[in-house]
Amino acid sequence: MAAHPRPHAEPLHSLAEAAPGELVEVVHILFGSLRQRFEDVGIRVGSRVRVRERGAHGLTVELAGCATISVDAVHAAFVEVRPPLADSPHGPAVPAPRHLTAGTFPDRSRTGDPAPNPRMA
């Protein structure tokens, strides 16, 4: 997967293209089932990983200086990464999930959408 330009943003590349020793930040994981598989082993959007070595069938990556995980090369191709942002030594904070309650769903009647929000009824 070649790097592709995005307007006003640094170019992204896949985890499969990362060089041994390179520290990268996960920006996007394509496909929900693959995203779940990576989350199960601790790789999430915002995670920093260091590629330890490359083999014929995949990569060995280190998570946050502790866990070492083997990643299949085909799966790694669907993980977009970039050089980490320099905002903190441990990377950017991953925002906590936002839990919506019945009163916090958007009211489409105020946004011009003709279909009312069924959760607001």
Cβ–Cβ < 8 Å for 18, 81: yes
* This prediction's pTM: 0.61
The full set of domains in the chain, from first to last, is: 10-85 (2.30.30.90)
pLDDT by residue (tens digit) across 1-53?
444 544 445 678 999 999 999 999 999 999 889 999 999 988 999 999 999 99
Backbone angles phi, psi at 13, to 5 degrees: -140, 170
Which residue in 84, 36, 38 sits closest to 61, CA to CA? 38
3-state secondary structure of 15: helix
Structure tokens at 25: 């930040």
